[in-house]
Structure formats: structure tokens, C-alpha cells
């Protein structure tokens, strides 16, 4: 049987990873038991699922944050352009208060939708 690694210490911030050989070093014959082999296989599947879930969760929130930041930058660029046109051509001044309120509403709604807690 190949050496597999499993998380043993679940309460520590830096988990201690041990191989199956280390876990069963006092009684290696248990590795040959069908129940133990089945349990180890099940643990490996669960570990893979946990890693995949954590990756998806992190990845989705990261993408949502990146998208939100791009939208915020786009809005800021638009308001800066309005300000430059106001100064250069005498167009109407940008509505800063409305822009800030819209930006805040957008960020809060997007965070709520993506379950990002600020």
C-alpha cells in the first residue's frame, strides 16, 4: 500500500501531517485489514473533497472581489473623467454624493450576494 498522508491534529493552527506508516507504526499489520484499508481510502476521498471545497470557496470569493474592484475602479475613472470635463469645458459638475451612495450600495449588495462579510 502506498504511503498516504492524513491530518491528525485538527485543533492546532498548524496541523501535524502523518503518514499511514507513522499512524500504524505500533501495529503495521492493521494496514492489511480490509476495514482499515477501507477507512483509509474513505479518509483520502474526504480529504480530497475538503481541499477541493476550500479551493472553490476561496477561488469564487477571490473572483467576486476582483470583479467588484474592477467595477469600483471603472466608476472612479468615470467620475474623474466627468470632473476633468467639468474643469475643461464647463460641463455640469459630477454628482459626488450620489456617486458615493451608489458605490456604497453596490459594494454592500455585491458582498451580500457573494457572502463576503466585511
- Whole-number mean pLDDT of the chain? 77
Over residues 11-40, the mean pLDDT reads: 72
Q: What are phi and psi of 19, to 5 degrees?
A: -80, 165
∠ at Cα 41 (37, 43), nearest 5°? 115
Over residues 22-32, the mean pLDDT reads: 80
Say if CB 107 and CB 72 are below 8 A apart.
yes
The predicted-structure confidence for 79-103, as pLDDT tens digits, reads as follows 888 888 889 888 888 888 888 898 8
> pTM value?
0.48
In this predicted structure, what is the pLDDT of residue 3? 42
Could you tell me which residues are beta bridge partners of residue 79?
Answer: none
Amino acid at each position: 500500500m502506498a504511503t498516504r498522508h492524513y491530518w491528525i491534529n485538527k485543533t492546532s493552527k498548524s496541523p501535524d501531517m502523518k503518514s499511514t506508516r507513522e499512524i500504524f507504526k505500533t501495529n503495521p499489520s492493521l494496514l492489511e485489514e480490509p476495514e482499515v484499508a477501507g477507512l483509509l481510502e474513505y479518509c483520502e476521498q474526504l480529504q480530497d473533497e475538503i481541499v477541493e471545497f476550500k479551493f472553490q470557496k476561496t477561488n469564487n470569493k477571490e473572483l467576486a472581489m476582483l470583479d467588484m474592484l474592477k467595477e469600483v475602479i471603472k466608476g472612479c475613472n468615470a467620475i474623474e473623467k466627468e470632473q476633468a470635463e467639468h474643469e475643461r469645458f464647463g460641463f455640469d459638475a459630477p454628482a459626488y454624493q450620489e456617486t458615493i451612495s451608489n458605490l456604497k450600495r453596490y459594494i454592500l449588495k455585491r458582498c451580500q450576494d457573494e457572502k463576503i462579510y466585511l
